[in-house]
Amino acid sequence: MPTAPFASRPSIRGLYVYHCAVAPVALHIANGMYGMILVKPEEGLAPVDREFYVMQGEIYTEESFVTAVLMSASASSTHWLTK
């Protein structure tokens, strides 16, 4: 699969979550294709001894939840996982 670099200059500081945004999103998130981006102010942040960024991920395995349905549906069509 071809890839291409990209660049962006964020204008609003903060901590943001990203994910690959390719269907099926639930399957990709379950495989760790997500993370955080910290956009610091131009003047920087106050000095600290340590920095911690904590992010929680979850996946539902019960049939009544959408994640399980998406993953089971996508699992039957993900022949590329075995290649």
pLDDT at residue number 79: 45
pLDDT at residue number 81: 45
Using one digit for the tens of pLDDT, what is the confidence trace for 20-69?
777 777 777 777 788 888 899 989 999 999 989 888 877 666 656 555 55
Q: What angle do CA 67, 77, 62 make, to 5 degrees?
A: 25
Q: Which residue has the tokens 């204008």?
A: 11
What is the rounded distance in angstroms from the CA atom of residue 68 to the CA atom of residue 7?
34
Phi, psi of 15 (to 5 degrees): -110, 125
Asked if the model's pLDDT at residue 80 lies above 50, the reply is: no
Q: What angle do CA 36, 23, 17 make, to 5 degrees?
A: 10
Using one digit for the tens of pLDDT, what is the confidence trace for 22-32?
777 777 777 77
Instruction: Count the alpha carbons within 13 Å of 8 in the hemisphere toward its beta carbon.
Output: 6
pTM beyond cutoff 0.75: no
